[in-house]
């Protein structure tokens, strides 16, 4: 995959601004790469701690209108926010002149992010003992409380935004998302510089239903997220199995009672993750105190909204540390009217994605015979349907605007075409044998094929079988990859380990090359490897966005046909880039290790 989001001018061994030598990649996040860096100035002064962490932000941030000004203002405030349970941001700058990449320097921490801690240590034990879990929860709560006292709300707290240091200290990270916040007690309403909804930055599994519906932020949104994380630390599982709050509320989901806790503690957790703000714990301190299990506390009365003359800002911290998938998103609030327009455009299409119930659909397949008597690829029959294609985003403009598409019945290859299947075609037409060094040709997907090679394969297969084979249209591809759902990945909203073969998918596989076909679970349509392994050529020519795209699922014939589209991401992609809506453009003649073939067959 050619991921152009990460700034490629700097890497391990590079020196930024003549001062910071990048020594090791610590993580790849949604907004760039995190490096361990040697501060040469500190090293020269023989400082005992000469290392820092550097987040080199990608082009999405660099090119965002006026984001540098917003970052400067927010960094200034964040540098004044000092607490042992909040990660420290030192400074920010550009690597060069105006328009070059932006980087942030922060304290270097050693330990593990809470997301990985839960996965590796907590889940296998079905939760931590209360005393151990409470020590972590309380420290997170202390950091959030301090921020709230300084009129800052996190707005995107989740397990990957907390870090457990080797000395036992827990630090909260990435206060990088902001909107106006209303004080739930005084009713004061404040304004903000930038908006997370505009960039689709919220994490649905940990966002309150008010956030998902685009309402103004509130400290109780952080309490909902903290309650979810606390429940995970105590049980190893998300209270609603990572179903977003708006859907969990509609389905009236109730988290299982934790038998190891007393009634008061269970009620405290229920209060933290209550679906409605009025029912939720009014402050982090209130939740932490009740979680001790000694007494339930009375809730204060709430006042109506009033305008505030206070110059307050929300979510201003940009403490980004050694974690994956972090994002900091900025925009200047030039006027309330303009900000509201931007928010309205995005909250509908980005933040309110619904999760459809998983239904077990009978998988029907067919397999045509070739003239030689051999069998062609196994094809899965896909029934007709309607789905919403793409996502409306002011950053991922090539993936939108979202539009409704009707798909006609067709069949799709259950697997990516294997080397063995392609070899039959290549030998028949005396074409080059791709990836000839791979011996196990039945089990690995074909790669090193151009768009023309893929298209020629379908034409040959049509002649061999007497049926109409072709490459999928982009709409058909997204339909079979998403199974008609609106979630980020076919399995749900969040990045999860061991779901696919990609660079950051946390498997034990070699991420320098494709892996065996069908190494992971099939999606609900019974189709394997739509996410990762190898990207798949589709028929469409490249278009910059979906404006005026056909709504009947057919191939979009015009556009720049020297450039073709590949979908699904590959072994070389970070997990965020194997999402259902991700599009990649390549020259039609390119033959790359990360691009392969999936085919369609027309049905009567």
| Per-range mean pLDDT, top range of 90-104, 136-150, 270-284, 410-424 | 410-424
Residue 342 has pLDDT above 50, yes or no: no
Domain span holding position 49: 15-106
Q: How many Cβ atoms are within 10 Å of 1's Cβ, its own excluded?
A: 24
Reported as a pLDDT band with limits 50, 70 and 90, residue 395 is low
- So what's the pLDDT on residue 493? 79
- So what's the pLDDT on residue 375? 95
Reported as a pLDDT band with limits 50, 70 and 90, residue 355 is very low
E strand segments, 283-409: 306-307, 365-366, 379-382, 385-389, 403-407
Listed residues 106, 138, 172: the one ending a domain: 106
Q: How many CA atoms lie within 13 A of 508 on its CB side?
A: 0
- So what's the pLDDT on residue 358? 46
Q: Please tell me the least confidently modeled range out of 344-353, 372-381, 469-478, 496-505.
A: 344-353
Residue 89 has pLDDT above 90, yes or no: no
Q: How many Cβ atoms are within 10 Å of 531's Cβ, its own excluded?
A: 27
% helix / strand / coil in the chain, to the nearest 5? 25, 20, 55
* Best CA proximity match to 407, nearest among 426, 442, 383, 390: 383
End-to-end CA distance of the chain: 35
Is the preceding peptide bond at 440 cis, omega within 30 degrees of 0? no
Reported as a pLDDT band with limits 50, 70 and 90, residue 76 is low
Task: Write out pLDDT tens, residues 430-476.
Answer: 999 999 999 999 999 999 999 999 999 999 999 999 999 999 999 99
- So what's the pLDDT on residue 217? 81
CATH of the domain at 129: 1.10.510.10
Backbone angles phi and psi of 370, in degrees to 5: -85, 165
- So what's the pLDDT on residue 431? 94
SS3 238: coil
Residue 301 has pLDDT above 60, yes or no: no
CATH of the domain at 56: 3.30.200.20
- So what's the pLDDT on residue 396? 73
The whole-angstrom separation of Cα 355 and Cα 372 is 46
Token reading at 332: 């200047």
Residue 271 has pLDDT above 80, yes or no: yes
Please give the helix or strand (H or E) that residue 169 lies within, else none: none
Residue 289 burial (C-beta neighbours within 10 Å; 0-12, 13-18, 19+): middle
Task: Write out pLDDT tens, residues 280-291.
Answer: 999 999 999 999
SS3 264: helix
Average pLDDT, the chain: 82
The whole-angstrom separation of Cα 507 and Cα 113 is 18
Reported as a pLDDT band with limits 50, 70 and 90, residue 104 is confident
- So what's the pLDDT on residue 328? 31
Residue 28 has pLDDT above 90, yes or no: no
- Residues 304 and 383 grouped into a single domain: no
- Residues 386 and 531 grouped into a single domain: yes
CATH of the domain at 567: 3.90.1580.10
Q: Is residue 523 part of a domain?
A: yes
The whole-angstrom separation of Cα 594 and Cα 569 is 8
- Residues 127 and 270 grouped into a single domain: yes
- Residues 237 and 328 grouped into a single domain: yes
Query: Residue 161 in contact with residue 172, Cβ under 8 Å?
Result: yes
- Residues 316 and 410 grouped into a single domain: no
Residue 325 burial (C-beta neighbours within 10 Å; 0-12, 13-18, 19+): buried
- Residues 90 and 118 grouped into a single domain: no
Please give the helix or strand (H or E) that residue 491 lies within, else none: none
Q: Is residue 359 part of a domain?
A: no
Residue 63 has pLDDT above 70, yes or no: no
- So what's the pLDDT on residue 60? 55
| Average confidence (pLDDT) over 280-309 | 75
- Count of domains forming the chain: 3
Listed residues 288, 321, 349: the one ending a domain: 349
- So what's the pLDDT on residue 194? 43
CA-CA distances (angstroms) from residue 78 to 69, 86, 325, 523? 14, 10, 21, 43
Helix orientation angle between 451-465 and 419-428, rounded to the nearest 10 degrees:
80
| Average confidence (pLDDT) over 96-116 | 85
Residue 150 has pLDDT above 50, yes or no: yes
- Residues 396 and 425 grouped into a single domain: yes
């Amino acid at each position: 995959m050619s991921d152009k989001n990460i700034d490629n001018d700097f890497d391990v061994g590079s020196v930024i601004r003549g001062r910071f030598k990048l020594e090791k990649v610590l993580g790849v996040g949604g907004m760039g790469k995190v490096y361990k860096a040697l501060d040469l100035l500190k090293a020269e002064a023989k400082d005992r701690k000469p290392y820092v962490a550097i987040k080199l932000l990608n082009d999405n941030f660099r090119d965002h209108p006026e984001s540098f000004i917003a970052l400067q203002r927010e960094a200034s405030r964040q540098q004044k926010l000092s607490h042992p349970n909040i990660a420290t941001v030192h400074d920010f700058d550009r690597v060069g002149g105006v328009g070059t990449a932006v980087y942030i320097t922060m304290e270097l921490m050693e330990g593990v992010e809470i997301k990985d801690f839960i996965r590796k240590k907590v889940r296998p034990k079905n939760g931590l003992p209360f005393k151990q879990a409470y020590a972590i929860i309380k420290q997170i709560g202390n950091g959030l409380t301090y921020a709230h006292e300084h009129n800052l709300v996190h707005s995107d707290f989740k397990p990957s935004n907390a870090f457990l240091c080797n000395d036992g200290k827990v630090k909260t990270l990435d206060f990088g998302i902001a909107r106006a916040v209303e004080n739930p007690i005084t009713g004061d309403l404040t304004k903000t510089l930038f908006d997370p909804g505009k960039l689709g930055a919220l994490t649905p599994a940990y966002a309150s239903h008010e956030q998902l519906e685009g309402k103004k932020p509130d400290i109780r949104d952080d309490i909902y997220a903290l309650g979810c994380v606390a429940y995970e630390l105590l049980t190893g599982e998300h209270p609603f199995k990572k179903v977003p709050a708006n859907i969990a509320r509609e389905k009236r989901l109730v988290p299982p009672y934790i038998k190891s806790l007393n009634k008061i503690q269970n009620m405290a957790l229920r209060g933290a993750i209550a679906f409605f703000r009025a029912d939720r714990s009014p402050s982090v301190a209130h939740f932490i105190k009740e979680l001790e299990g000694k007494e339930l506390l009375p809730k204060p009365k709430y006042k109506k909204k009033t305008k505030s003359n206070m110059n307050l800002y929300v979510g201003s911290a940009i403490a980004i540390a050694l974690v994956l998938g972090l994002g900091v998103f900025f925009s200047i609030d030039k006027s309330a009217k303009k900000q509201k327009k931007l928010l309205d455009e995005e909250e509908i299409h980005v933040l309110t994605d619904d999760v459809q119930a998983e239904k077990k659909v009978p998988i029907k397949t067919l397999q045509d015979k070739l003239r030689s008597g051999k069998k062609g690829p196994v094809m899965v029959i896909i029934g007709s349907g309607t789905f919403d294609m793409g996502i409306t985003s002011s950053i991922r403009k090539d993936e939108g605007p979202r539009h409704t598409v009707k798909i006609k019945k067709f069949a799709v290859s259950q697997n990516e075409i294997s080397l063995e299947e392609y070899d039959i075609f290549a030998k028949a037409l005396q074409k080059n044998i791709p990836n000839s060094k791979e011996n196990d040709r039945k089990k690995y997907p074909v790669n090193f094929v151009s768009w023309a090679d893929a298209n020629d394969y379908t034409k040959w297969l049509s002649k061999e079988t007497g049926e109409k084979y072709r490459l999928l249209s982009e709409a058909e591809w997204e339909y079979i990859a998403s199974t008609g759902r609106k979630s980020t990945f076919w399995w749900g909203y969040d990045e999860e380990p061991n779901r696919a073969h990609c660079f950051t998918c946390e498997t034990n596989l070699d991420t320098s090359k494709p892996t065996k076909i069908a190494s992971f679970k099939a999606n609900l349509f019974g189709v394997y490897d739509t996410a990762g392994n190898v990207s798949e050529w589709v028929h469409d020519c490249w278009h910059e966005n979906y404006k005026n795209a056909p709504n009947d699922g057919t191939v979009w014939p015009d556009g720049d046909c020297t450039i073709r589209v590949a979908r699904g991401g590959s072994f070389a992609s970070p997990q965020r880039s194997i999402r259902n809506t991700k599009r990649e453009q390549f020259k039609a003649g390119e033959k790359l290790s990360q691009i392969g073939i999936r085919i369609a067959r027309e049905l009567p």
